[in-house]
Structure formats: C-alpha cells, structure tokens
Amino acid sequence: MSHPVPKGFRLAGVHCGIKSDATKEDLTLIATDQECVAAGVYTQNLVVAPSVTQNRAKTPCENIRVLVVNSGNANACTGERGEQDCREMSRLAGEAVGASEAQSLVMSTGIIGHFLPMEKVATGITGAAALLGSDDTAFASAVRGITTTDKFLKTSSRSIDIGGQPVQITAMAKGAGMIGPNMATMLCAVMTDAALTSGDAQQILTHAVDRSFNCISVEGHTSTSDMVLLLASGAAGVGPSSDSDRATLQQAIDDVCVEVARMIPSDGEGATHLVTIDVTGCSSRDDARRIAKTVAESALVRTAITGNDPNWGRIVSAAGYASVEFDPSKVTLRINDALIYEAGMPAVYDEKQVSESMRDSHEVRLSLAFGEGDESVRFWGSDLTVDYVKFNSEYST
C-alpha cells in the first residue's frame, strides 16, 4: 500500500493498549504543519458518541491542527465521563503538536459502552506525536490504527492539476459491519493540500458523501460514532479559482470517497460478494436511492446472492415495498448484464449460466430500470452469510 501524503500533513499510528493484541495499532494522529480547513459529515443516529457532538460543534472551520483517532473503543453511551474523556483527548492531541483543544478533532470506534483507558490514550498520543512522518511507513501505521474488524486496509488517492500546480487527495477509511446509509460504523479521513475555504470544503464533502458513504449498506445499521472528515492544508499553494477547477477537485474527491466506500461492503463481515446496484429511470434521486437501499438490505435478496441464485422475484418485490410509486409494467432487471425481467414479466434466460457468473465473481451487479424519469443512483451492499451471523453473535458491540 503506497499513497502520497498530501503536503502539510504528518501521520503516525501506535499501539497503546486499547486493543488487547499488542501487534495492532489502536491510536492514530494526523497533524498539520499549519492551521487547516476542516469539514465533516456525521451519523444521523440520535444516539451519538461525544466525538460526533464535539466535532459537529467545531466544523466547518479553518483552524484545525490535529485529528486523533482511537480504535477498539467507541466511547459511546458513556455519559458525562465520556464527554470529558473526549475533550481530554482533544486537549492532549493539541498539546502534543503545539495547539489547543479547540484545534483538535477526535474519532473513536470500537465497542460501545466502555470507558476509554485515558492513561493509555495519553501515552499513545505522546508516542504517536514522536513518530509523525509523511512516508509510506507512517501512512500505513496510521491507517492500521483506525481499523477494528477490517480484513484489509481501505485507502485511495488521486493527483490532479489546478492552475498548473499539482494537488494531492488521499483518503483512509475503516468499516466492515454495522453499515447503513446516513453513515454507519465507519470512519474516513480525506486529506488534500488544496487551498479551500471552510464553506467550499463542506459543500465538496457533502456532495462526495452523498454519492459514496451514503450509498453503502451491509445490514442497514446506522451507528453512533461515524463520520467523514475533509482536511485541507492549503500547502499546495493553489485552490479552485474557476468552475472547471472546482469540478476537477470535486470529481477527484468523489472518486476517492467512492473507491474507499465500496471497499466497506466488499469487506462486509462474512461477505462473499460485493453487490453493486444500479437503479435508473426514477423521478428523483431520492426515489432511486430508496429502492436501491431496500434491495440492498433485503435478507432474502442477500441470501439469494450468497447462494448464487438469480432470484428475480425477491429483487423486484423488494423494489415494490420501498414506498416509491412506479409502474410495475415498465420495470427491467439485469443480473451481471443478463436480462432477467422485462416489462413486468420474467425474460427467457439461462439460469445456470447466470448462477455461474455470480459464483465466479466477487462482485454481483444488479441493474434495475424504471420508466418514471431520468434520475439514477449507484449503491453498494454485500450478501448475507452464516459467517455474518456467527461473527455478530460472538462479537460484543
């Protein structure tokens, strides 16, 4: 794994004892050389961790110096002590880089309802601050420090040109279960050295999240600690000064968010398939998203995909209970490009061949077309296996 760290950022990940496995990093620092712009998008759950409430109050802003992330403990549902511990994490991280608590952001992920071991956290922050760097080793340790049940690291980057100057965007994310639109048990930090205002950063991030992290689901569970942060150091010395520049930057940030977002259901706990759902021909994007989300979260659809069964009835009927008005006689369904259902009736297709195409590919593509309009959405989910049930019956939330 090698991704350029944008100018103006230094990172490190260390093990400080939050996780029992001493070989796994559990605390990450992302520091900036100068004050940077920060924007955030947060979980829509009413039950939220202090990291969410405190970061919401700080962003968007233009004076952040450090982001501290711990994994293995979500510090959620921990009352006033949890609030105090989160503020103390901010203070310690700020102090470690010569900044204030107000210039620090916090992410926490892991088990809910447990107090943070603050002595270990303090030691970890001090240790990570001493190791801050911008090389591949520093980046990789920082990415490992934000993971929990992830089977692989989720990173992406793009290099673009703005005003004749190179601009870098690099993202890291974590997540494998308790994933649903409007954020879920996932975290993502997107870094860029482009110069942005806080207002522009918030608009760009909201647009990107709408097309990425709010279009993924493993089981539809929107959790308590989840967020995406965009940090812009401005160290490239250039920012978007025209509509064309802005579109180029927006597309690059959209792309890195989509790339890491689709890795999350691909890594869904126990999953054997990534499910990509394209819904087209709707009267609104919201309608398309509601249909895609309903199909993605249907236990019957997901188990059919686990069994490599092109069960069109489960897919079409799931669309039908998504609380979206449409003409059933204008619905078309393709699975892995094979026409399965057309104009409200099953098509003639080779069931064995389609099943084999599902079996032989990690990604299964469902394409649902309607006749209501021109709006569309792409959504990602995962199948449902016995291993998912086993894992989550044994893992304490």
Question: Residues with catalytic annotation?
Answer: 185
* Residue carrying the six token digits 């900036």: 32
DSSP state, residue 133? B
Q: 3-class SS at 103?
A: helix
**Helix runs in the chain, H state only:** 50-58, 79-96, 118-130, 136-144, 198-210, 243-266, 285-297, 299-306, 312-320, 351-359, 386-394
CA–CA separation, 29 vs 44, rounded Å?
Answer: 25
**Helix runs in 267-348, H state only:** 285-297, 299-306, 312-320
Q: 3-class SS at 346?
A: strand
Could you give the strand order of the β-sheet that contains 345-346, starting from the edge strand earlier in sequence? 345-346, 338-342, 332-335, 363-369, 274-282, 375-382
Neighbours of 164 (CB within 10 A): 6
> How far apart, in Å, are the Cα atoms of 233 and each of 128, 160, 188, 239, 279?
20, 16, 17, 11, 37
Q: 3-class SS at 220?
A: coil
> Residue 200: CB partners within 8 Å, gap ≥ 6?
239, 240, 246
